[in-house]
Chains A and B, each alone.
Chain A
Amino acid sequence: MKENISALMDDALDDAAAHAAITDLQADKTLKDSWDTYQLIGDAMRGGGGLALDVRREVSERLRDEPTVLAPARRWPLPARKLRHYALAASLACAAVVGWMGWQQDESEMVVAKASEAQVFSPVTAVEAPYLLAHQEMAGTIDSSQRRVAYVPARDKAAH
């Protein structure tokens, strides 16, 4: 039991053993004396002064008159493993949202593209071509290559 107190001082106990050792320390005066003496030995070996100072009894007596302090339980940070899981889930969710938005955008672009395509090529139809050609000739702004293309009726394109 005392060996655990010695190890507790040296950060050499895992959490469960440390919790148990602290509980034992609070309940057992002999263990508490060992804790006190081991602390003093450490301070003396490290060459510190003030070794004669001892306010344990006075503080303990004054604490008896103090109301017991109670604080709300502290929320410890999540363990690293849990954090990694949350980060992975968040990344996947983010990727899914971005992917969905991208897909939606593609769909819209396709619709726009089809609409544009229809607008661009619709003037060059068999029905409208002679009318347009007549006006273009009057305007004089279309070169001969465009005129040729515009002149070919759509239904005859397949034959060429």
Chain B
Amino acid sequence: MSDRELDQQLVERVQRGEKRAFDLLVSKYQRRLGRLLSRFIKDSADIEDVTQEAFIKAYRALPSFRGESAFYTWLYRIGINTAKNFLSANGRRPVFKAGVEDEDGEVADLGDQMPDYHTPEADMMNRQIVETVNQAVNALPEELRTAITLREMDGLSYEEIAQVMDCPIGTVRSRIFRAREAIATQLRPLLDTAKDKRW
């Protein structure tokens, strides 16, 4: 099942009344949507509010979503409109305007080029997460590190990774899972500490 099909499956579950399926979409896209919105909105608390609002609007609009475009493209459009309405209502102008949509009208995820949130707490939390993940990745046995890196950073499929690493697909699957678990073990204490904080 492809990434788009997975999203479609989750959407259809929500459309059948399974609200919890929407949580999975929120978890998957909240950071990407937040990074996109930070092109329009400067204040980190406002970004968080608009991100929330965009998800709620998306939930309400889900009955009309028919899957003609990818879910994230549709979600991003809702996010951008929500941000514009927010800025308009508050008499403010967007921080950046350019580079949000490509020539096909698709919404581009420009997260890598975006400035991070602007509060010191958010910056610090962001740095800590990145450092923890990097340290955990570097501490992995080589075969786990290679597998997770090829998957997450290079976007290779399990079949391609199996060819690169000259091992069965089942081994790739197991290595990536073990790598994620090892990194998650290092990350969880930091996330537990942050749970009740608003960044």
Contact = CB atoms under 8 A, between A and B. Distances in A.
B67 interface: yes
A53 B9 contact: no
A6 B66 CA distance: 27
B31 A50 contact: yes
Contacts of B48: 53, 55
Interface stretch (A56-64, A111-119, A124-132): A56-64
A46 B1 CA distance: 22
Contacts of B9: 18-19, 22
A32 B148 CA distance: 20
B78 to A, nearest CB: 13
Chain B binding surface SS class = helix
Interface residues of B, number: 78
Contacts of B69: none
B3 A11 contact: yes
Interface string B8-52: 011011111111111110111011101100100000000110011
A54 B30 contact: yes
A120 to B, nearest CB: 66
Interface stretch (B53-61, B86-94, B95-103): B53-61
Contacts of B12: 74
Interface in A1-49: 2-3, 6-8, 10-15, 18-19, 22, 25-26, 32, 34-49
A62 B19 CA distance: 11
A51 B126 contact: yes
Given A70-B17, A74-B66, A52 B177 contact: no
Nearest to A26: B20
B39 to A, nearest CB: 11
Contacts of A73: 16
B52 to A, nearest CB: 5
Contact of B177 (A6, A25, A62): A6
A70 B16 contact: yes
A11 B191 CA distance: 26
Contacts, number: 195
B23 A60 contact: yes
B63 A71 contact: yes
A62 B26 CA distance: 13
Interface of B: 1-3, 5-6, 9-10, 12-24, 26-28, 30-32, 34-35, 38, 47-48, 51-52, 55-56, 59-60, 62-67, 111-112, 114-117, 121-122, 125-126, 129-130, 133, 137, 148-149, 151-153, 157-158, 169, 173-174, 176-177, 180-181, 183-184, 187-188, 191, 194, 199
26 contacts: A7-B158, A12-B173, A13-B1, A18-B1, A32-B23, A32-B27, A36-B27, A40-B187, A41-B183, A44-B133, A45-B149, A45-B152, A47-B112, A49-B126, A50-B35, A50-B38, A50-B111, A52-B199, A55-B55, A63-B19, A63-B22, A68-B17, A69-B59, A69-B63, A71-B62, A73-B16
State the 4 A-B residue pairs at the shortest beta-carbon distance, nearest first. A49-B116, A52-B125, A71-B15, A71-B63
